[in-house]
């Protein structure tokens, strides 16, 4: 069902194509992947992962909307991804704070606690 914008004396029905959502999600995922691969700061790496998860959410909702809006599977998966993202942020920030207290740095190259 297209969106309806009501202006003064006329209506415009606008339907955004699926490809626009997919292009937006691909761009967002690419920015997140670049952030994960190019940053040395652990917090910036977590932000890149969050961008990638949000791109996945955009894809899930877009495909749900265009393929079968009667079923709630796309929205349910999106809520699950949001919950996983929230847990990832909580655990990731707790680990980064713990490492910072021990090493006084959040640079990913210097965090080698598991190495001997």
Domain definitions of the chain by residue range? 3-110
Q: According to the 3-state scheme, what is the secondary structure of 4-20? A: EEECCCCEEEECCCHHH
**CATH tag, 3-110:** 1.10.287.3510
Q: What integer pLDDT is reported at residue 12 of this predicted model? A: 52
Cα–Cα distance for residue pair 43/77, rounded to 1 Å: 26
Position 4 scores a pLDDT of 57
b/e burial code for range 56-92 (CB count within 10 A of at least 16 → b): bbbbbbbbbeeeeeeeeebeebbeeeeeebeeeeeeb
Which pLDDT score, from 0 to 100, does residue 32 have? 96
- pLDDT confidence of residue 95: 87
CA pair distance 114, 97, nearest whole angstrom: 16
| Mean pLDDT in consecutive groups of 10 residues from the start of the chain, 116 residues | 56 76 96 94 92 94 86 87 92 89 83 66
Single pTM value for the model: 0.78
């Amino acid at each position: 069902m297209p969106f309806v914008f009501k202006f003064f004396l006329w209506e415009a029905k606008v339907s955004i194509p699926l490809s626009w959502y997919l292009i937006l999600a691909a761009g967002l995922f690419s920015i997140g992947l670049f952030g994960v691969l190019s940053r040395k700061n652990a917090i910036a790496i977590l932000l890149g992962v969050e961008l990638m998860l949000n791109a996945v959410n955009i894809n899930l909702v877009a495909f749900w909307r265009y393929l079968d809006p009667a079923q709630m599977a796309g929205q349910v998966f999106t809520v699950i991804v949001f919950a996983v993202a929230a847990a990832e942020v909580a655990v990731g920030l707790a680990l980064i704070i713990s490492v910072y207290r021990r090493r006084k740095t959040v640079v990913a190259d210097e965090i080698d606690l598991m190495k001997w």
